Chains A and B, each alone.
Chain A
Amino acid sequence: MTPVRRRRLILVAVIVAGMAIATGLGLKAFRENLLYYFTPSQVAAGDAHAGQRFRMGGLVAMGSIRRTPGSMTVHFTLTDMKDSIPITYTGILPDLFREGQGIVVYGTLEKNGQFVADQVLAKHDSKYMPPEVTAAMQKAMQAQQAAVKGAS
Chain B
Amino acid sequence: MFIWFHKLVSPPYFYKFAGRLSPWLAWLSLLVILAGLYAGLWLAPPDYQQGDGFRIMYVHVPSAWMSLFVYTVMAMAAAIGLIWRMKLAHAVSAAAAPLGASFTFLALVTGSLWGKPMWGTYWVWDARLTSELILLFLYLGYMVLNRAFDDRRTGDRASAILALVGIVNIPIIHYSVKWWNTLHQGPTVFFGPRADIPPSMYIPLFIMVAGFMLYFAAFILKRLQVEILQRERNTAWVRELVEKS
Residues of A participating in the B interface, judged by any CB pair closer than 8 Å? 5, 8-9, 11-12, 15-16, 19-20, 23, 27, 34-37, 57, 92-98, 104, 119-134
Contact = CB atoms under 8 A, between A and B. Distances in A.
Interface string B175-201: 000011111011110000000111011
B154 to A, nearest CB: 16
| Size band of the interface chain B makes with A | 35 or more
B198 A5 contact: no
Task: State the main secondary structure of chain A at its contact with B.
Answer: mixed
Contact of B48 (A12, A35, A130): A130
A137 to B, nearest CB: 9
Contact of A121 (B79, B167, B183): B183
Contacts, number: 109
A23 B168 contact: yes
Nearest to B47: A128
A15 B83 contact: no
B167 A123 contact: no
Task: State the main secondary structure of chain B at its contact with A.
Answer: loop
A80 to B, nearest CB: 12
A35 B180 contact: yes
B23 interface: no
Contacts of A131: 45-48
A132 B50 contact: no
Contact of B120 (A23, A35, A121): A121
A98 B200 CA distance: 26
B233 to A, nearest CB: 27
Contacts of A124: 50, 118-119, 185
B161 interface: yes
Contact of A132 (B45, B49, B54): B45
Interface in B78-127: 79, 82-84, 117-121, 124, 126-127
A128 B188 contact: yes
A123 B183 contact: yes
Contact of A123 (B83, B119, B179, B201): B119
Given A12-B164, A19-B168, A119 B121 contact: yes
B226 interface: no
A94 B119 contact: yes
A130 B200 CA distance: 9
B172 interface: yes
Given A5-B84, A122-B119, A127-B197, 19 more contacts: A12-B83, A12-B164, A20-B168, A35-B181, A36-B126, A36-B181, A36-B182, A96-B50, A96-B119, A98-B49, A104-B183, A119-B121, A120-B120, A121-B119, A123-B183, A126-B185, A129-B198, A130-B47, A130-B48
